[in-house]
Amino acid sequence: MYKGRSLCQKKNAAERTREPAHLQVENEMTEPVNVLIVGAGAIGGLYGAILKRAGARVGLVVRSEYDVIKSDGVKITSPLGDLSYQPDGVYRSAEEVDAAPDYLVVTLKVVDGIDRVAAIKPAVGPNTTIVLIENGIDIEPEIAEAFPDNRLISALAFVAVSRVGPGSIDHKAYGQLTIGNFPSGAGPEVHHFAELLEQGGVPGVVSDRVVTERWRKAVWNAPFNPVSVLAGGADTRTMLQTPGGEYAIRAMMEEVCAAAKAAGHPLPDDIIEMNIASTHKMPPYYNSMALDYLNKRPMEVEAILGNLVRAAERSGVEVPRLKTAYALIKMLQANLAKQQ
């Protein structure tokens, strides 16, 4: 695991020349790092606490939980201890934020009906690094295109955390973020952000091929998430123990690997075995899309499956099972919408 070095440390001239001008200015700041988290929820609330522990000033843009967080802060139980905190600013929208943050962390769900660009634009300054802690494949281009002059960090969370009530979060286990620049590389801001995470108590793993990491995670996510929903909101054990279930999941994982390879992200040969074996070892588990479905919340269908199917088609790779699952889940969404 790479341990980032704080950018607040003195640097030699050679290192400086590799950094953009605005980052050099930032390096010389003595004030705390300013972080704004847009789309709090369980993930945003938790990483706000982590960054606060690292000494950052942390503001939250929250909508439905504004009142409770404004008055009582964020309550978090965690294996790391009591992570509850009062944010340094609580806002109903990014328009209320007066100073552009150093890091703008996006934890919005990637679903139809949420305009991520519009949600963050008022708070993005010229020196703001945008950090996407979001699920899926190809979720970065929309942001990269809207903010071509900003540094962009793509982050994958490996964490068990859930919202247990208004402003109240239960961090159950893990917490690692794997981070890198989009589409590749790992600039100083990536290492700096990783150091903040480490200081805050969770692993910050730097990868200069974060898109490959997204494909690696998709091997599990792209089959299990939609399949759980199509099976009526099934847990992992139900899916794997049904006759034909494990075979179907494996066959879909093979399609993900073929699509990943064609997109320039070859994955290890044993990745399917590893995923299946570890899932067998887990207690029965409801994934994020299953929980969204069972709780009648919007599902991240495009981020988790649709973008992947389209990437495969651009590469000329056949993914008949994933494409079928995608069509089925789109029909399910259409049917659910009709019933409302």
In whole angstroms, the minimum distance from the beta carbon of 308 to a second copy comes to 14
CA distances from 145 to 102, 140, 196, 253 (A): 19, 9, 27, 30
Query: Are 305 and 322 contacting, i.e. CB atoms less than 8 angstroms apart?
Result: yes
Distance separating alpha carbons of residues 308 and 238, to the nearest angstrom: 25
In whole angstroms, the minimum distance from the beta carbon of 239 to a second copy comes to 5
Nearer to a second copy, 213 or 302 (CB): 302
In whole angstroms, the minimum distance from the beta carbon of 113 to a second copy comes to 17
Please count the other Cβ atoms lying within 10 Å of the Cβ belonging to residue 37: 27
In whole angstroms, the minimum distance from the beta carbon of 90 to a second copy comes to 38
Nearer to a second copy, 12 or 335 (CB): 335
In whole angstroms, the minimum distance from the beta carbon of 320 to a second copy comes to 5
Nearer to a second copy, 201 or 233 (CB): 233
Please count the other Cβ atoms lying within 10 Å of the Cβ belonging to residue 325: 24
In whole angstroms, the minimum distance from the beta carbon of 219 to a second copy comes to 17
Query: Are 102 and 95 contacting, i.e. CB atoms less than 8 angstroms apart?
Result: no
Q: How many helices (H) and strands (E) does the chain have?
A: 15, 10
Point out which residues bind a second copy (CB under 8 A): 227, 230-234, 238-239, 241-245, 247-248, 251-252, 320-321, 323-328, 330-336, 338
In whole angstroms, the minimum distance from the beta carbon of 114 to a second copy comes to 20
Dihedral of alpha carbons 254, 260, 262, 267, sign: negative
Q: For 301, left (φ over 0), alpha (ψ -120 to 50), or beta? A: alpha
In whole angstroms, the minimum distance from the beta carbon of 333 to a second copy comes to 8
Nearer to a second copy, 206 or 253 (CB): 253
CA distances from 331 to 22, 155, 311, 324, 336 (A): 48, 30, 21, 11, 9
Q: Please report which residue ranges of the chain form alpha helices under DSSP H.
A: 13-17, 21-27, 41-53, 66-72, 116-120, 141-146, 188-200, 210-230, 236-241, 245-262, 271-281, 288-294, 301, 307-314, 320-339
Nearer to a second copy, 29 or 327 (CB): 327
Say if strands 129-133 and 152-165 run parallel, antiparallel, or are unpaired: parallel
